[in-house]
Amino acid sequence: MTLRAPIVINKRYTVKSSGMAIITCSPATGKFLIPLRHNSTEKGKDKMKPTRVPNNPCFSSGPCAKHPGYSVEELKDTPFGRSHRSKPGKEKLAEAIKRTRDMLGLPDDYLVGIVPASDTGAFEMCLWSMLGCRGVDVLVWESFSKGWETDITKQLKLKDTRVFEAEYGKLPDLKQVDFKNDVVFVWNGTTSGVKVPNGDWIPDNREGLTLCDATSAIFAMDVPYHKLDVITFSWQKVLGGEGAHGMLILSPRAVQRLESYTPAWPLPKIFRLTKGGKLNKDIFAGSTINTPSMLANEDWLATMKWAESVGGLKQLIRRTNENLAVFEEFVAKNNWIHFLAETKEIRSSTSVCFKVDLSDEKLKALIKTLEKEKVAYDIGSYRDAPSGLRIWCGATIEKEDLECLCEWIEWAYNLVK
């Protein structure tokens, strides 16, 4: 509800249709009224400080906010002190795999496994296990995709590699990709707020594999699984799970590559997906490569149950899109904040990145002010990205909290500018 209060009209306020306050007269008192939350272009001290705060001020892009109503009581069934190889341990891990598969609606012949070291570990084991038998096209447009390019060209030192790179806010030319090669890319650039628009650019009859880091896209965007041979993500992104564990999804073509190709370089134990030239299927049945946290696994089960309770994948995507819409409206109303993504079709709905018309010093002051007021934590841009804001809008974020945050961002901007 908008708060209103009597005021004495002075020359600072002008009646306009947008950008300024609308002044009205109370028929009961004859006094003029003005909304306390107006779009003033005056200094922040002349704009009333918001009176409400987000219920959850955690807008980090990883680890991300816990789901609404989260309680550690949800972890009470963790098999503490039991081996992950024990019957209850393996059952819990297998349940996490099954719930994930069911929630995503994966093809029946795709495999799902829990692996070490978050999304990074999941994607690294695939780069090191599968690449090298044909050329590689790698797409780069932000920090993490740049990291995969570095691994391919400087660590694996694959000479038959083509790099297609774009600056922050843009995508490389997807039409240049040769699918006779293996293709490595992120679905959503977590540090730039730029995603691929869809999977139409990926042919069904490709010769090479498509290896996709989908960690900040899965559970939030429409991902065409049949276009992807390797899909990786971590627990701590869209559904707000705990860190240190990754999930690996393999198509039959990816399995065929693992069983028909042995890299020339040695593989550490946590990268090995085969035994005796055959896929180690135990990994995809809950028998992990090394010891997982059963507490983190129980937390993932809690996220799955919450996701089911709100309506499953379609509703997770809907919640995320509605969250993005809050900022689309906010940016449209304020000419001092801009999406880093240049066009709407490539704009991320999860890791939403902004440019703000402030110096670096004043931007830091804005971020510090919001943290001091306990209304927003961890919303600065990634260290390698252009200066700005990065605000998580995934499914565990409540739309009302983002609406509230917008009021605080506007207030803080006027305060520091």
Binding-site positions for pyridoxal 5'-phosphate read 144, 190, 213, 236, 290-291
Tally helices (H) and strands (E) across the chain.
Answer: 8, 17
Confidence of residue 47 (pLDDT cuts 50, 70, 90): confident
What's the pLDDT score for residue 29? 41
Task: Report the C-alpha gap between 357 and 338 in whole angstroms.
Answer: 8
Task: Report the C-alpha gap between 31 and 42 in whole angstroms.
Answer: 23
Residue 247 scores a pLDDT above 50: yes
Tokens 């960690």: give the residue: 215
Binding-site positions read 85, 144, 190, 213, 236, 290-291
Burial of 250 (0-12, 13-18, 19+ CB in 10 A): buried
What's the pLDDT score for residue 46? 59
In order of start, what are the domains of the chain with their CATH numbers?
A: 1-36 (no CATH), 37-66+311-416 (3.90.1150.10), 73-309 (3.40.640.10)
CB 130 within 8 A of CB 137: no
Torsion of CA 342, 346, 349, 351, to 10 degrees: -70
Binding-site positions for L-glutamate read 85
Q: pLDDT tens, 84-126?
A: 999 999 999 999 999 999 999 999 999 999 999 999 999 999 9
Task: Report the C-alpha gap between 231 and 224 in whole angstroms.
Answer: 11
Burial 109-126 (b: 16+ CB within 10 A, else e): ebbbbbbbbbbbbbbbbb
Task: Report the C-alpha gap between 299 and 293 in whole angstroms.
Answer: 10
Residue 18 scores a pLDDT above 70: no
Q: Which amino acid is at 386?
A: P
Confidence of residue 45 (pLDDT cuts 50, 70, 90): low
Cβ within 8 Å of residue 417, ≥6 positions away: 43, 44, 336, 358, 362
Angle at alpha carbon of residue 136, lines to 131 and 140, rounded to 5°: 110
User: Residue 285 gets which letter from DSSP?
Assistant: G
Residue 375 scores a pLDDT above 70: yes
Residue 275 β-bridge partners: 278
Confidence of residue 6 (pLDDT cuts 50, 70, 90): very low
